[in-house]
């Protein structure tokens, strides 16, 4: 039957009702919440 | 010994990187000297050096105080790999070959480590090696390789990027959980790595998609193989949780990947994973504004979006095997003998295990049935564009009859899988959803089934219901189709005998 | 016949590699005990977000001498992710960084702090985020003199000759560590400014 996905989406930083959709894969810490306790440095570029 | 000398050189490299930034000229000079002084001037030496470097790095991890910096040597090795790919002269061999040699060496050391250590094998240093490799590559290629000043080198590296990810993905495919169970959780983490998954999703011309499909298939196959009705190992439950989150993230960032590859993904996804199946099928292209499927005034035939056929990345025609000609010929000119060939061609020679709800094995080639149904749908939508809607919204058309004949001439199992395959196309508003909605509605009310009518109706209701009673998301096309069936004047669903037989189901139907 | 099998450098490890192919070709019906325990072991050692973080072998020292620098740690603080309860509100700054803790906390930092991070943590992710935040606040970076500039537009009361008065400010990071007004001779040249 599956589960209520709201908390799962919340843990991913996905807000389905928000008008603004933000990408989450670029800051994805880990497939599991338990191993996502610190944020990871995403890609970035600094001009010379 | 030779090995000890390599240990020394590598140790110097590690120390150097801790003293200067990786862009420093000293780093460039060090690498130049590695080549000129004969450390890395031939591929055999490259293999020996990499072996020594990995062994040293992994041992360094194992022996380090866990609270200290345990990955220094490993990170240094990752940096070395990317620097070599960037700085060396590749007139004799290609970057791809060079990268493959390095990766092969890593693979052999990795294989030996896990074989010899069994349960004591620790995946973390190898995970870190690959993760840092991805990070170093990202640092190099930032802003389309803007850091590379030499124009020719920049051009070469841009061209190499696709191969970089292809090689990485190929080796990741070889490290899949079925082959290396001791690396499973690291593997899943790598597949969803922020420097890997979004890059492959967004490579130009969808170049990364075939490899991603392969990797997702590996994951789903693994899950499927060890999901038993009687018992799901705890570890597999955890795998599922992670897989769910990854699919939700992909659905958020790049729903097109799920939309265009639903056929492939569902071929490997065990059917008991109903919610995950719905997540894949409920995906829709980003800019689309979907009408409310619960709107009582909604008429699917008048929904504008249903004029457009969905994009399909992997053409199911490739999976039709020896039925391709009969199917295509039948669609052009339907004959009984062609139909007989098709109907008899969907069976397996041996049973296959399949953990379904109410069954545990299959005698039919489910993948083949999925391919036939989707192929017919694709052709029907094309036919509509070429000629007219009447050519396909017509119970006499070969597009419709090929499906009804499969059902008439097939066992209950075939009927079930054909209906499942049709329902898999009831997704967001598009031309396939529209046509298959028509097909299913007509199948439900048709009187050509004779004594089999109740059985077919039951299969249709079961198939749609099991997709609706799960937690969300639900597919737009399934909701609309089920609503259409609920609204039928001539046949009230709640009065059907197979519904009345099970009070819980009768209650659900009456409520709906 | 394959070359790989004839290369002595690949022996004996190739054997171990080949063994892993067996379950792919002939899947087990039920998970063997050995596989189950390897899977458990993998679960126990599951890499976490720290394992997946970007490596930094060379720790950049503070890039410029600064009188208060002794009060600031050399290491960046490993910020722990807090809950993502607030849905995105600003559409203008809706990039991949906007939902990270570090970017959100920087939006609360003083200009002073942002400039400090920018000039003293060169090449770092933190510098990048401070530049992003400054840019969001309307500051522009001059590639020539490496200063941040701000265009102040003041609406004048009706009846005045001009509708608005424009003043340019820049942050003097080299001497006074203050935002100063640009002199009357200042001319804005778009090509001198970095497009962020």
Residues B346-366: tens digit of each pLDDT: 999 998 887 788 888 899 999
What's the confidence (pLDDT) of residue B512?
Answer: 84
- To the nearest 10 degrees (0 to 180), the angle between helices B72-87 and B124-145 is 40
Burial B310-321 (b: 16+ CB within 10 A, else e): bebbbebbebbe
Q: Give domain status of residue B435, yes or no.
A: yes
Q: Give domain status of residue B294, yes or no.
A: no
What's the confidence (pLDDT) of residue A20?
Answer: 78
Structural domain boundaries enclosing B63: 1-174
Q: Output the domain CATH number for residue B352.
A: 1.25.40.800
Q: Give residue-wise pLDDT tens across range B172-187.
A: 999 999 999 999 999 9
Sign of CA dihedral B312, B318, B323, B329: positive
Please name the residue of chain C whose CA is at the shortest distance from the CA of residue A12: C84
Whether residues B50 and B98 fall in one domain:
yes
Chain B CB contacts of C13 below 8 Å: 108-109, 111-112
Q: Could you give the number of structural domains in chain A?
A: 1
Q: Give residue-wise pLDDT tens across range C75-84.
A: 555 555 555 5
Whether residues B182 and B168 fall in one domain:
no
Please name the residue of chain C whose CA is at the shortest distance from the CA of residue A13: C84
Whether residues B224 and B323 fall in one domain:
no
Residue A39 has its nearest CB partner, among C81, C88, C89, at C81
Backbone φ and ψ for B424, nearest 5 degrees, come out as -65, -15
Coil, helix or strand for C179? strand
Domain boundary among B139, B174, B209: B174
Residue B52 above 60 pLDDT?
Answer: yes
What's the confidence (pLDDT) of residue B467?
Answer: 97
Is B252 in contact with A40 (Cβ distance < 8 A)? Answer: no
In a mutational test of the B interface, the residue from A23, A31, A36, A47 whose CB has the highest number of chain B CBs within 10 Å is A31
What's the confidence (pLDDT) of residue B197?
Answer: 98
Residue B323 above 70 pLDDT?
Answer: yes
Residue C66 above 70 pLDDT?
Answer: no
Whether residues B494 and B403 fall in one domain:
yes
Is B112 in contact with C57 (Cβ distance < 8 A)? Answer: no
Confidence band, pLDDT 50/70/90 cuts, at residue A17: confident
Confidence band, pLDDT 50/70/90 cuts, at residue C59: confident
Q: How far is A25 from chain C (nearest CA, A)?
A: 9
Confidence band, pLDDT 50/70/90 cuts, at residue C70: low
Q: Give domain status of residue B87, yes or no.
A: yes
Q: Touching check for B469 and chain A: CB below 8 Å?
A: yes
Return the bridge partners of C180, or none.
C170
How far out from the chain centre does Cα C119 lie? 15
Whether residues B165 and B193 fall in one domain:
no
Is C57 in contact with B75 (Cβ distance < 8 A)? Answer: yes
Confidence band, pLDDT 50/70/90 cuts, at residue C64: low
The average pLDDT across B300-317 equals: 96
Whether residues B468 and B319 fall in one domain:
yes
Range of lowest pLDDT (A24-33, B256-265, B300-309, C160-169)? C160-169
What's the confidence (pLDDT) of residue C141?
Answer: 97
> By the 8 A CB rule, do B103 and A5 touch?
no
The average pLDDT across B327-341 equals: 98
Q: Touching check for A27 and chain B: CB below 8 Å?
A: yes
Token pair for residue C43?
Answer: 């679960």
Is A46 in contact with C131 (Cβ distance < 8 A)? Answer: yes
Can you give chain A as a three-state secondary structure string? CCCCCHHHHHHHCCCCCCCCCCCCHHHCCCCCHHHCCECCCCCCCCCC
Please name the residue of chain B whose CA is at the shortest distance from the CA of residue C35: B181
Chain A CB contacts of C102 below 8 Å: 39
Residue B458 above 90 pLDDT?
Answer: yes
The average pLDDT across C99-122 equals: 94
What's the confidence (pLDDT) of residue C82?
Answer: 54
The average pLDDT across B303-314 equals: 97
Chain A CB contacts of B198 below 8 Å: 23, 25-26
What's the confidence (pLDDT) of residue A19?
Answer: 74
Q: Give domain status of residue A32, yes or no.
A: yes
How far out from the chain centre does Cα B265 lie? 5
Please name the residue of chain C whose CA is at the shortest distance from the CA of residue B238: C43
How far out from the chain centre does Cα A1 lie? 24
Q: How far is C115 from chain B (nearest CA, A)?
A: 23
> By the 8 A CB rule, do A39 and C102 touch?
yes
Domain boundary among B121, B149, B174: B174
Whether residues B196 and B165 fall in one domain:
no
Please name the residue of chain C whose CA is at the shortest distance from the CA of residue B128: C51
Q: How far is B282 from chain C (nearest CA, A)?
A: 23
Q: Give domain status of residue B259, yes or no.
A: yes
In a mutational test of the B interface, the residue from A1, A2, A8 whose CB has the highest number of chain B CBs within 10 Å is A2
Confidence band, pLDDT 50/70/90 cuts, at residue C72: low
What's the confidence (pLDDT) of residue B79?
Answer: 98
When the pLDDT of each residue in chain C is averaged and rounded to a whole number, the result is 86
Token pair for residue B49?
Answer: 């050096």
User: Sheet holding C148-155: strands in order across?
Assistant: C140-141, C148-155, C164-172, C178-181
What's the confidence (pLDDT) of residue B456?
Answer: 97
Residue C136 above 70 pLDDT?
Answer: yes
Dihedral class, residue B94 (left if φ above 0, else alpha if ψ from -120 to 50, else beta): beta
Confidence band, pLDDT 50/70/90 cuts, at residue C90: low
In the B/C pair of chains, how many CB contacts fall below 8 A?
131
What's the confidence (pLDDT) of residue B82?
Answer: 98
In B, residues 342-361, which contact C (CB 8 Å cutoff)? 353
Residue C67 above 70 pLDDT?
Answer: no
Kindly give, in sequence order, each residue whose CB lies less than 8 Å from that of residue B361, ignoring residues fewer than 6 positions away.
Answer: B351, B352, B353, B354
Is A35 in contact with C53 (Cβ distance < 8 A)? Answer: no
Please name the residue of chain C whose CA is at the shortest distance from the CA of residue A32: C48
What's the confidence (pLDDT) of residue B218?
Answer: 98
Structural domain boundaries enclosing A19: 1-43
Residue B189 has its nearest CB partner, among A24, A27, A31, at A31
Residue B396 above 70 pLDDT?
Answer: yes
Q: Could you give the number of structural domains in chain B?
A: 3
Chain A CB contacts of B469 below 8 Å: 1
Question: Is the ipTM beyond the 0.85 threshold?
Answer: yes
Q: Touching check for B278 and chain A: CB below 8 Å?
A: yes
Q: Give domain status of residue A48, yes or no.
A: no
In the A/C pair of chains, how many CB contacts fall below 8 A?
86
Token pair for residue C61?
Answer: 């020292």
Whether residues B506 and B375 fall in one domain:
yes
Q: Give domain status of residue B494, yes or no.
A: yes
Whether residues B235 and B285 fall in one domain:
yes
Distance between first and last Cα of chain B: 79
Token pair for residue B290?
Answer: 């979907």
Q: Give domain status of residue B348, yes or no.
A: yes
When the pLDDT of each residue in chain B is averaged and rounded to a whole number, the result is 95
Chain C CB contacts of B182 below 8 Å: 38-39, 41-42
Chain C CB contacts of A36 below 8 Å: 48-49, 81
Whether residues B284 and B380 fall in one domain:
no
Q: Give domain status of residue A26, yes or no.
A: yes
Is A1 in contact with B201 (Cβ distance < 8 A)? Answer: no
Is C49 in contact with A36 (Cβ distance < 8 A)? Answer: yes
Write out the DSSP string of C40-95: HHHHHT---TTTTSPP--S-PPPSS--TTGGGS-SSPP-PBP----SPP--STT-S
What's the confidence (pLDDT) of residue C102?
Answer: 92
What's the confidence (pLDDT) of residue B437?
Answer: 98
**Segments in chain C forming alpha helices (H):** 3-6, 13-19, 22-25, 33-44, 101-106, 111-120, 125-136
Coil, helix or strand for B291? coil
DSSP conformational letter for B501: T
What's the confidence (pLDDT) of residue B451?
Answer: 93
Is C123 in contact with B71 (Cβ distance < 8 A)? Answer: no
DSSP conformational letter for B506: H
Q: Give domain status of residue B385, yes or no.
A: yes
Residue B124 above 60 pLDDT?
Answer: yes
Q: Touching check for A6 and chain C: CB below 8 Å?
A: no
Is B184 in contact with C58 (Cβ distance < 8 A)? Answer: no
Residue C69 above 90 pLDDT?
Answer: no
Is C40 in contact with B123 (Cβ distance < 8 A)? Answer: no
Whether residues B443 and B463 fall in one domain:
yes
Whether residues B319 and B454 fall in one domain:
yes
Confidence band, pLDDT 50/70/90 cuts, at residue C12: confident
Q: Output the domain CATH number for residue B240.
A: 1.25.40.790
Range of lowest pLDDT (B298-312, B465-479, C81-95)? C81-95
Chain C CB contacts of A39 below 8 Å: 49, 79-81, 100-102
> By the 8 A CB rule, do C46 and B186 touch?
yes
> By the 8 A CB rule, do A20 and C94 touch?
yes
């Amino acid at each position: 039957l599956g589960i209520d996905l709201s908390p799962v989406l919340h843990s991913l930083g996905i807000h389905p009702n928000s008008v603004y959709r933000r990408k989450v894969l670029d800051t994805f810490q880990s497939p599991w919440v338990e191993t996502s306790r610190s944020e990871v440095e995403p890609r970035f570029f600094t001009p010379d | 010994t030779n090995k000890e000398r390599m240990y020394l050189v590598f140790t110097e490299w590690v120390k150097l990187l801790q003293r200067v930034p990786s862009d420093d000229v000293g780093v460039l000079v060090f690498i130049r000297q590695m080549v000129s002084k004969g450390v890395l001037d031939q591929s055999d030496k490259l293999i020996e050096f990499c072996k020594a470097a990995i062994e040293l790095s992994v041992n360094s991890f194992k022996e380090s105080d866990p609270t200290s910096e345990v990955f220094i040597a490993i990170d240094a090795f990752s940096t070395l790999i990317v620097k070599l790919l960037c700085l060396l002269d590749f007139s004799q061999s290609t970057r791809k070959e060079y990268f493959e040699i390095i990766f092969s060496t890593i693979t052999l050391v990795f294989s030996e480590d896990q074989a010899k250590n069994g349960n004591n094998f620790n995946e973390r240093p190898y995970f870190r090696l690959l993760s840092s490799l991805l990070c170093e590559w990202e640092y190099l290629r930032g802003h389309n390789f803007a850091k590379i000043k030499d124009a020719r080198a920049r051009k070469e590296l841009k061209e190499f990027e696709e191969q970089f990810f292809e090689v990485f993905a190929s080796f990741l495919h070889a490290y899949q959980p079925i082959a290396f169970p001791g690396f499973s959780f690291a593997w899943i983490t790598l597949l969803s790595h922020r420097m890997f998954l979004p890059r492959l999703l967004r490579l130009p011309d969808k170049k990364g998609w075939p490899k991603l499909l392969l990797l997702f298939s590996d994951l789903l196959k693994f899950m499927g193989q060890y999901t038993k009705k009687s018992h799901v190992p705890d570890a597999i439950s955890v795998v599922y949780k992670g897989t769910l989150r990854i699919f939700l993230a992909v659905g958020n960032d790049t729903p097109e990947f799920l939309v265009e590859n639903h056929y492939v993904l569902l071929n490997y996804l065990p059917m008991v994973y109903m919610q995950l199946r719905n997540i894949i099928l409920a995906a829709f292209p980003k800019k689309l504004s979907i009408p409310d499927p619960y709107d009582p005034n909604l008429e699917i035939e008048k929904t504008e979006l249903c004029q457009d056929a969905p994009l399909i990345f992997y053409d199911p025609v490739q999976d039709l095997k020896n039925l391709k000609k009969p199917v295509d010929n039948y669609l052009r000119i339907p004959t009984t003998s062609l139909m007989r060939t098709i109907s008899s061609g969907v069976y397996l020679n041996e049973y296959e295990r399949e953990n379904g709800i109410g069954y545990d094995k299959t005698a039919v080639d489910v993948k083949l049935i999925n391919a036939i149904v989707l192929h017919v749908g694709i052709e029907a939508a094309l036919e509509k564009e070429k000629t007219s809607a009447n050519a396909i919204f017509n119970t006499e058309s070969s597009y419709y009859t090929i499906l009804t004949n499969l059902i008439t001439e097939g066992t209950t199992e075939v009927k079930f899988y054909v209906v499942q395959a049709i329902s898999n196309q009831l997704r967001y508003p598009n031309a396939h959803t529209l046509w298959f909605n028509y097909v299913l509605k007509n199948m439900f009310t048709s009187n050509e089934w004779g004594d089999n009518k109740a059985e077919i109706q039951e299969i249709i209701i079961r198939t749609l219901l099991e997709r609706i009673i799960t937690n969300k998301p639900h597919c737009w096309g399934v909701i609309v189709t089920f609503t259409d069936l609920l609204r039928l004047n001539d046949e009230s669903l709640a009065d059907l005998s197979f519904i009345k037989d099970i009070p819980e189901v009768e209650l659900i139907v009456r409520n709906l | 016949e394959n070359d790989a099998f004839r290369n002595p450098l690949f022996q004996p490890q190739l054997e171990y590699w080949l063994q892993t192919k067996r379950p792919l070709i002939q899947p087990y019906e039920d998970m063997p005990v050995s596989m189950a325990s390897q899977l458990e072991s993998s679960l126990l050692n599951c890499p976490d977000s720290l394992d997946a973080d970007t490596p930094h072998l060379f720790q950049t020292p503070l890039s410029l001498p600064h009188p208060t620098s002794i009060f600031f740690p050399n290491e960046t603080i490993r910020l722990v992710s807090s809950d993502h309860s607030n849905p995105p509100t600003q559409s203008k700054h809706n990039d991949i960084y906007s939902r990270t803790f570090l970017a959100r906390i920087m939006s609360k930092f003083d200009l002073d702090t942002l400039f400090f991070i920018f000039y003293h943590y060169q090449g770092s992710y933190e510098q990048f985020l401070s530049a992003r935040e400054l840019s969001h606040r309307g500051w522009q970076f001059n590639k020539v003199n490496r200063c941040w500039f701000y265009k102040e537009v003041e609406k004048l009361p009706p009846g005045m000759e001009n509708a608005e008065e424009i003043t340019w400010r820049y942050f003097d990071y080299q001497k006074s560590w203050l935002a100063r007004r640009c002199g009357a001779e200042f001319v804005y040249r778009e090509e001198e400014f970095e497009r962020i």
